[in-house]
Amino acid sequence: METRKLGTRGLEVSSIGFGCMGLSFPGAPEKRESIKVIRAAFENGITFFDTAQRYGDNELLVGEALEPFGGKVKLATKFGFIGGAMDFKIDSSPKNIRASAEASLKRLKTDCIDLFYQHRMDPNVPMEDVAGTVKELIQEGKVKYFGLSEPDPASIRKAHAVLPITAVQSEYSMFYRAPEHDIIGLLEELSIGFVTFSPLGKGFLTGSITAETKFDEKDPRNMSPRFDKENRQENQALVDLVVSVAREKNVTPAQIALAWLLAQKPFIVPIPGTSKVHRLQENIAGSKISLSADELNVVNMALDKIKIVGERYPKSIQNKIGK
């Protein structure tokens, strides 16, 4: 697989990574099968794996799965929460950042975290203190690179002035294009990489979800206003567009969604997640599909005419995490 560079300090990763979060959430396969999928990702060329302390036992799972490949993979994890997986208690105090780093190192079975993100901005801790603490961890050899997850532009500039940011992680896809307004241009200006989660719109861009789809009662999409039946119906025009382009190129909708992302900027690295090896292989094949400038122009003009309805998160969660 081709590689891409994130930031300017030397982090080079596979052109798509693997988002491991879903392997520890409701509906995930048993541990043995999850390890099989993670290892299949590496065996098929993926070298960049994303997890977080807040994803339940995910760091433990990732650490066990990738231990045999130490030194051949890049591990990204996150700090900034305390409490249970759904508590959303933000804490980026220097003390908690250090405690999180030590805990993550043990769970990931590594002596250095490749990319350490602040998971969400903490209004109670100055960004200068956050970046300063991570800078100390880098000097101590416990972390290699610094990142921010879902930051606002002001926070990016403040942090970058203290410690160069290697990557920003946010949701970005044909289904959610908000970063185009004030984030992507800033990242290009500052030479910061962009790691995009939910690049397939949490499955919506695969073409397999319609207004009539019934999710399992434990499926987290049940909480997302974007996935209300009425909103899925309103947003069907986007699916129709992706399916149409996929048919023209004789590929899958998911592959078009990933190819579109990769074509936006050379510093974008999507991190789709899956629990199925055949979907993993489908995603990897998407990284090899090229869209010409003319094809991109046609797709983007069509996208601009489609209004996506529905918020990403319910208000109760938005109020806690600021998104």
- Selected catalytic residue, list 55, 117, 145, 176: 55
Residue partners of 72: CB distance under 8 A and separation at least 6: 42, 47
Tokens linked to 318:
């938005």
Q: State how far the Cα of 137 lies from the Cα of 120, in Å rounded to an integer.
A: 19
Active site residue 55: yes
Which tokens in the block code for residue 106?
Answer: 């043990």
- Residues with catalytic function: 55
